[in-house]
Chain A
Amino acid sequence: MEANGGESSRILREIENLKSAKSEIERRISDLEAQLRDIDEKDETKTNSTRSCPPLSNGDSGFGHGLSPDMIYRYSRQLLLPSFGVQAQSSLLKASILVVGAGGLGSPALLYLAACGVGRLGIVDHDVVELNNLHRQIIHTEAYIGQSKVESAAAACHSINSTIQIVEHKEALRTSNALEILSKYDIVIDATDNAPSRYLISDCCVVLGKPLVSGAAIGLEGQLTVYNYNGGPCYRCLFPTPPPTTACQRCSDSGVLGIVPGIIGCHQALEAIKIASDVGEPLSRRMLLFDALTARIRIVKIRGRSSQCEVCGENATFTAKQFQEFDYEKFTQSPLSMTPLKLDLLPTEARISSKEYKERVVRGEPHALVDVRPAHHFKISSLPNSMNVPLSSLEARLPEISSALKREEEHASLYVVCRRGNDSQRAVDYLHKMGFTSAKDIIGGLESWAHDVDPNFPTY
């Protein structure tokens, strides 16, 4: 067994080495290709400044539509569609689309936009690929864990279609860079995951006059609409006042079935394709509501542009300068990045570290451990001998905690744990008020337990 174990770890090491060499080579190839494209582009603009077909065209076939023989073959199934055809394809090849967010929505959107032949495709994201992204962010692969989402997405798009231009924006979208980035594209897709970004992107699109395809998904539901298109409303016409932060759920807290953002992301790509190629009726002044559990899609009629809108209304004077000075985080009272909240409610003496808790368990200190996460979280993983009393039912279940303490020796301690150490503080704060004065919370929750005490303890 020992020899086998040694052998397999040697093989695993070798696989790791080869994988990292492979991704390094792929990165170099894509860098060189980008350089080559830049050179080609410069040459083209030098020799023929009015030329309108996309940069990597390998030669017009001479039929007046600018498509090369290779392009005709590649996109033939779209050219064969009477309602799409060569004219729409040709428009698509000349179009540029920016996808903000290479996550659950952006993944399928980018894959389809690259495949269908959008001339220039931009990708904005500042994040890196994580293992718990892969169930929904299907553009990324295991080999890219820990690497930039933009690089990973660009490589995937490039491997599907090496003839389009892919632009990497490896940065978070902020008021300082948004105008410059968005101005380079015809259409913007909002595939982000938070309220401030949604206001920021919509406002920027109004300032620049760009149509915005906006999608959102969480849990088992999705929503989609097109803003700032053809006299239609902007995001603020619909939502002039930001919702309370407690109403803004995140995938990392509420969960999401991977395919749900996938379905919405596909719809976003479709709307962008329709706008870029001037085909069909884009989903403006209408909103698509998707409920995965009941398999129902509802298309509802929404208000048009609001004359009172502070950004796009009749008397609005929202300028580029105002946009750059606007504080979106303050406006929505939530951060643009995904940093989880870190509460600091309790005095130091009412808190212990996960390491210290472990030491007390080892010493055999009599105590009760209350886990205040929701029951479905508790089922995923929990500490030995912990009792699950979700924060929402704490008030009603205080007697259970009292009897658990009585089962221990006299003066037994009471510890409270949760996922990250926020709810446990709220619980301890409440327990103190209800007379459980010895209650202490475990700082950083089960995440710190996994980090500092038991690396094998599952996190999620």
Chain B
Amino acid sequence: MQLTLEFGGGLELLCDSVKIHKVNVNPQDGEDKLNMKDLLAWVRTNLIKERPEMFMKGDSVRPGVLVLVNDCDWELSGQLDTTLEEKDVVVFISTLHGG
């Protein structure tokens, strides 16, 4: 399925400084749905070029990273269990502290 992935707040530095990625990700063999847990594993393998620990911790994102599915906090849609659909936009943003 086609998804748009966006990285911000410095996370884009982990994937060759490219902020927006139009990607095609399919559910794993034997599954009919793709959820956020699958997507994170896919991102880690296919998009993150350096320092994966700056993006993930365990099978989720590291502390300080907000995940938004279609402009909505993934806490509201079930976090790792959020089911993705065709043309969804997923944003990964690192919280900023500067001023």
Contact = CB atoms under 8 A, between A and B. Distances in A.
Interface stretch (B21-29, B34-42, B65-73): B65-73
A105 B97 CA distance: 11
| Most chain A CB neighbours (cut-off 10 Å) among B64, B75, B93, B99 | B99
Interface in B41-66: 53-54, 62-66
A239 B8 contact: no
B30 interface: no
Nearest to B94: A247
Given A221-B9, A246-B54, A247-B54, A302 B66 contact: yes
A72 B63 CA distance: 49
Nearest to A222: B96
Contacts of B8: 221, 289, 291
A216 B94 CA distance: 11
A104 B99 contact: yes
Contacts of A241: 63-64
Interface string B1-33: 000000011100000000100000000000000
Given A223-B9, A247-B54, A289-B8, A254 B98 contact: yes
A218 B73 contact: no
Nearest to A293: B19
Given A223-B9, A241-B63, A244-B62, A300 B72 contact: yes
B91 interface: yes
Nearest to B75: A303
Given A247-B64, A298-B71, A218 B96 contact: yes
Contact of B98 (A238, A251, A301): A251
A238 B75 CA distance: 9
Contact residues of A: prevailing secondary structure: mixed
A303 B62 contact: no
A101 B66 contact: no
A122 interface: no
A216 B95 contact: yes
A301 B66 CA distance: 11
A206 interface: no
Contacts of A215: 99
B78 to A, nearest CB: 12
A105 B99 CA distance: 6
Contact of A242 (B64, B66, B71, B75): B64
Contacts of A256: 98
B10 A247 contact: yes
A191 B96 CA distance: 12
Interface string A223-265: 1000000000000001111111011111100101000010011
Contacts of B98: 104, 193, 216-218, 249-251, 254, 256, 261
A189 to B, nearest CB: 11
Contact of A195 (B62, B75, B97): B97
Given A103-B99, A216-B95, A223-B95, A243 B64 contact: yes
B15 to A, nearest CB: 15
Nearest to A195: B97
Interface string A295-311: 00011111100000000
Contact of B72 (A106, A193, A261, A301): A301
A246 B10 CA distance: 11
Given A216-B97, A223-B96, 4 more contacts: A239-B63, A243-B62, A249-B96, A264-B99
Interface of A: 101, 103-106, 191-195, 198, 215-219, 221-223, 238-244, 246-251, 254, 256, 261, 264-265, 287, 289, 291, 294, 298-303
What 7 A-B pairs come out closest when comparing CB atoms?
Answer: A243-B64, A218-B98, A241-B63, A216-B96, A303-B75, A105-B99, A193-B99
30 contacts: A105-B99, A106-B99, A192-B99, A216-B98, A218-B98, A223-B9, A238-B66, A238-B95, A241-B63, A242-B64, A243-B63, A243-B65, A244-B62, A247-B10, A247-B62, A247-B64, A247-B94, A249-B10, A249-B97, A250-B98, A265-B99, A289-B8, A289-B93, A299-B71, A300-B71, A301-B72, A302-B66, A302-B75, A303-B75, A303-B76
